[in-house]
């Protein structure tokens, strides 16, 4: 008598099953997913205009060639014909929207396959998977996708007022964005105030304003506005001027 749970090849579905068809695997994601697994963060949240790092390590134990290529693809991509979002393969063109912003930090010695994203855009939200090509080892880690979510920018600039503001005495105020990504496109600073001001030195992530307040400026407001040009997002901070006679 045949065993009641006979392992059958389901001709109509092209999959092995226990008396029924197993779920189909997409032709864009080959049935190699159960053998190797990727060590990778399952999700990453990045604020708009900022940077994010998806930590990743691939598990293959042997390097079968001196050159190892890696690719990050958007979910659903055909790895043979579609462009990756990031790769170290000079023969493959990356997607135009991710060019210069998505970077594969591949290291064959440490098996690092981390993905760095800068100037994150809302359109970057989605799922991505990694593919390894090291000669005879060609593997798409479709079973270990990464979900990337780009959220609204909620950070605000920091305004530093040194000491006491006094009428007729110039003071240097600093506006900074210490949380901004150093690898990102530099932000643009602007100031608004009814008091007499002049711009001082600036760095990539800070701007200095020389303020020369008068008695009538007491109680007025000063605003520092920071715009991230890569995504067109602007944030600001406002402080009230309190003068001491």
The pLDDT tens digits for 65-82 are: 578 899 999 999 999 999
Which residues of the chain are in CATH 2.60.40.10 domains?
A: 26-151, 158-240
Counts of helices then strands in the chain (DSSP H, E): 0, 20
Q: How far is it, in rounded angstroms, from Cα 70 to Cα 134?
A: 8
**Class at the top of the CATH hierarchy for domain 26-151:** mainly beta
Architecture field, domain 158-240: Sandwich (2.60)
List C-alpha distances in Å: 201 to 27, 104, 160, 192.
57, 35, 15, 17
pLDDT for position 23: 32
- What is the pLDDT averaged over residues 77-94? 95
Residue that is written with structure tokens 């304003």 in the block: 209
The pLDDT tens digits for 189-229 are: 999 999 888 998 899 999 999 999 999 999 999 999 999 99
């Amino acid at each position: 008598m045949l065993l009641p749970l006979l392992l059958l090849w389901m001709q109509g579905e092209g999959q092995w099953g226990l008396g029924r068809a197993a779920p189909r695997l997409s032709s864009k994601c080959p049935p190699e997913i159960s053998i190797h697994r990727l060590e990778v963060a399952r999700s990453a949240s990045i604020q708009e205009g900022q940077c994010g790092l998806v930590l990743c390590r691939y598990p293959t134990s042997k390097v079968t060639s001196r050159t190892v290529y890696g690719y990050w693809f958007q979910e659903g991509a055909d790895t043979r014909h579609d462009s990756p979002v990031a790769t170290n393969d000079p023969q493959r063109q990356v997607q135009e929207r991710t060019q210069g912003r998505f970077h594969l930090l591949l290291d064959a010695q440490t098996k690092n396959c981390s993905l760095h994203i800068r100037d994150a855009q809302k359109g970057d939200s989605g799922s991505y998977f990694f593919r390894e090509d090291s000669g005879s080892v060609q593997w798409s880690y479709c079973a270990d996708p990464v979900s990337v979510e780009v959220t609204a920018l909620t950070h605000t600039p920091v305004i530093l007022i040194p000491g006491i503001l006094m009428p007729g005495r110039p003071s240097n105020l600093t506006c900074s964005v210490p949380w901004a990504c150093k690898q990102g496109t530099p932000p643009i600073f602007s100031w608004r105030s009814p008091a007499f001001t002049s711009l001082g030195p600036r760095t990539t992530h800070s701007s200095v304003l020389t303020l020369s307040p008068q008695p009538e400026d007491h109680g007025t407001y000063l605003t520092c506005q920071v715009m991230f040009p890569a995504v067109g997002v602007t944030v600001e901070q406002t402080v009230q001027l309190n003068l001491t006679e």
